[in-house]
Amino acid sequence: MDYKLTFKEFNKALKRGKLLGLKCRDCGKFTCPPKMACQECGSTNLDIAELNGSGKVVTFTVSYVPSEGREAEAPYTIVMVELDEGPWLMGNLTDIDPNKVTMDVIDRSVKLGLRSKVLPGDTYSIGGKEAEGGFARPTFVFA
């Protein structure tokens, strides 16, 4: 069975500022990031859908201890966003100084920025054609 919306397609679209997901024909709900089966009901009866990229922050962290090779990024802010369509999507929050981020960001409205940051990948992750050109990182700004 073919994968309806692969990482490669999702990634390519996200780099152009377009957030793709799946809409379930059986339960009507959205899955994003994409999977083989509906996040809500497990159905594989899915259509590709564009999501509007807006939502609210449900949780966050500011990371000061990065992975090998990503030292220059720290500190950076990670947010989990509940999208308007329902799914949760992890991303970076870029228009606030990480050192000033507090619990107050929870429930703030955010939207995808015009350009997603891209992680080039490293020794362990760059081999696959699916990630050619790097990994797009959903990049949010306050709405």
Partner 1 sequence: MRKVAIVGTGHTPFTFAAEKSSVELFSEAAMDAINESHLKSKDVQAMYVGNVLGDFSEGQAMVQSYCADDIGAFHIPSTRFEGACASSSLAIRDAFIWVASGFYDIVLAGGVETAAKMGTPLATRTFAMAHDSHYEYPIGLTFPGFFAMLAHLYCSKYSVPLEKLKEQMALVSVQSHRYGVHNAFAQFHKEIAVEDVLKGFMVCSPLQLLDCCPFSDGAAAVILTSEEKAKELTDKPVYIIGIGQSSSGKLSAQKDYAPRIRAREVSVKQAYDMAGIKPEDVDLCELHDCFSIASIISAESLGFAEFGKGGELWQKGETKIGGTIPINISGGLKSKGHPIGATGASQVFEIVHQMRGHVEPERQVEGVNIGLTDTLGGDGVLCNMVLQKGW
Tokens representing 13 are 């679209």
| CB 81 within 8 Å of CB 55 | yes
23 touches partner 1 (CB under 8 A): no
Q: How far is the CB of 15 from partner 1 (least distance, A)?
A: 12
Total residue count of the chain as it appears in this document: 143
The H or E element spanning position 13 is helix 7-15
d(CA 55, CA 90): 11
Q: Which is nearer to partner 1, 106 or 143 (CB)?
A: 106
Interacting residues of 17 by C-beta distance below 8 A, sequence separation 6+: 53, 112, 113, 114, 115, 116
| CB 26 within 8 Å of CB 39 | no
Q: Which of 64, 115, 126, 143 binds partner 1 (CB under 8 A)?
A: 64
x-or-dash string of contact with Zn ion, 6-35, rule CB under 5 A:
------------------x-xx--------
Out of Zn ion, partner 1, none, which partner does residue 43 contact, by CB within 5 to 8 A per kind? Zn ion
132 touches partner 1 (CB under 8 A): no
| Binding region for partner 1 (CB under 8 A) | 7, 11, 33, 35, 39, 58-71, 73, 76, 78, 80, 82, 87-92, 101, 103, 106-107, 119, 122, 124-125, 130-131, 135-138
